[in-house]
């Protein structure tokens, strides 16, 4: 008799019930599966929304997002069509539970979402679609969350501010804004122009800044966990177009609450207000 068989016999004999995994354990296992699949990709940042919030005395359902990239020119080619696409780059997958659910689910940024949000032709995302679908195809299909793509129009959920400063100074002002708010955490930044240069693809200066306030994020996510894919952490895109105009773009958390749950909450409105006021003050020259 095998050891496993012996254990099963004893468990049956003594009516030992199998230990039920906690919801957090289920999300951890789901995230580990993502990590196994993307092992050959370059992970940029991994954010455990639940545990970061817990450390700050806040509560949100378990949720872990992975932001990663590959070593191809897929992202750079998309940005050469429209720099604003950078707000959704490179690849993102969220392992999470819905409020009051015991099931671990997955959400990801699909090619169809990007196509509709940025008004692209279907064939523009062929290579991106191949990569993300190959990854998601290895996950349990009954655990993948769906999204009502038909409601997504060009420019959906994107807020933009024109900066009064040049590209580098705008970046410095945003970092100063994050630093001055002591509850903010700076997670990473992605130099999308540098990656494009490596592939001889020409785009203007483009930087994706990743930061956030875990307790504020928890307030926005407590009954809307899935927005942790797009709205948290904050994804702030700073880019300079061919006319030399520098803009700052970021996601409207309230729009994602409505997209995924048909409603918004006070936390999402608070995030939108804080981001709009903070970023506007940061990139506006009061002496101009």
Please count the other Cβ atoms lying within 10 Å of the Cβ belonging to residue 166: 13
Instruction: Give the start-to-end residue ranges of the domains of the chain.
Output: 20-283
The answer to whether 207 touches 190, Cβ cutoff 8 Å, is yes
Predicted confidence (pLDDT) per residue in 117-143, tens digit: 999 998 999 999 999 999 999 999 999
Q: Where does the chain show beta strands of DSSP type E?
A: 42-48, 63-69, 91-96, 105-108, 158-162, 185-191, 206-212, 234-240, 246-251
The parts of the chain modelled with pLDDT lower than 70 are 1-20, 182, 288
* pTM reported for the whole predicted model: 0.89
Q: Quote the pLDDT of residue 54.
A: 82
Q: Quote the pLDDT of residue 145.
A: 94
Listed as own residue / partner, the contacts of 162-167 with beta carbons closer than 8 Å and 24 or more positions apart are: 162/245, 162/246, 162/247, 162/283, 163/238, 163/246, 163/247, 163/248, 163/283, 164/283, 164/284, 164/285, 164/288, 165/246, 165/283, 165/285, 166/240, 166/246, 167/205, 167/238, 167/239, 167/240, 167/246
Strand partners, 257: none
Q: Quote the pLDDT of residue 6.
A: 56
Say whether 192 sits in a helix, a strand or coil: helix
Predicted confidence (pLDDT) per residue in 227-239, tens digit: 999 988 899 999 9
Into which CATH architecture does domain 20-283 fall?
2-Layer Sandwich (3.30)
Q: Quote the pLDDT of residue 14.
A: 55
Q: Quote the pLDDT of residue 89.
A: 93
Q: Quote the pLDDT of residue 50.
A: 86
Q: Residue 156 CA to chain centroid, in angstroms?
A: 15
Say whether 253 sits in a helix, a strand or coil: helix
| CA 61/CA 83 separation, integer angstroms | 33
Q: Which two tokens stand for residue 222?
A: 């407590």
Segment (H or E) for 179: helix 167-180
* Full 3-state SS string of 103-157: CCEEEECCHHHHHHHHCCCHHHHHHHHHHHHHHHCCCCHHHECCCCHHHCCCCCC
Helix 126-136 to helix 111-118 angle (10° resolution) is 150
Q: Quote the pLDDT of residue 1.
A: 43
Q: Quote the pLDDT of residue 143.
A: 96
């Amino acid at each position: 008799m095998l050891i496993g068989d012996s254990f099963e016999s004893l468990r049956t004999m003594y009516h030992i019930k199998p230990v039920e995994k906690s919801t957090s354990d289920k999300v951890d296992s789901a995230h580990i599966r993502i990590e196994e699949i993307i092992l050959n990709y370059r992970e940029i940042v991994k954010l455990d929304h639940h545990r970061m919030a817990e450390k700050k005395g806040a509560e949100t359902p378990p949720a872990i997002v992975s932001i990663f990239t590959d070593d191809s020119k897929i992202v750079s080619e998309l940005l050469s069509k429209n720099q604003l696409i950078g707000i959704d780059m490179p690849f993102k997958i969220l392992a999470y539970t819905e409020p009051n659910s015991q099931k671990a689910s997955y959400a990801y940024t699909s090619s169809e979402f990007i196509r509709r949000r940025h008004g692209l032709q279907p064939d523009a995302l062929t290579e991106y679609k191949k990569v993300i679908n190959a990854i998601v195809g290895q996950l349990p299909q009954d655990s993948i969350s769906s999204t009502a793509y038909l409601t997504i129009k060009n420019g959906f959920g994107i807020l933009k501010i024109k900066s009064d400063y040049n590209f580098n100074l705008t970046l410095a002002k945003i970092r100063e804004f994050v630093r001055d708010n002591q509850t903010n955490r700076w997670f990473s930044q992605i130099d999308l122009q540098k990656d494009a240069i490596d592939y001889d693809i020409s785009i203007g200066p483009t930087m994706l800044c990743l930061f956030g306030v875990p307790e504020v994020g928890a307030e926005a996510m407590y009954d809307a966990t899935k927005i942790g894919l797009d709205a948290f952490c904050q994804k702030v895109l700073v880019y300079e177009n061919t006319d030399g105009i520098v803009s700052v773009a970021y996601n409207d958390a309230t729009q994602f609450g409505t997209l995924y749950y048909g409603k918004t909450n006070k936390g999402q409105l608070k995030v939108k207000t804080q981001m709009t006021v903070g970023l506007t003050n940061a990139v506006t020259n009061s002496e101009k």
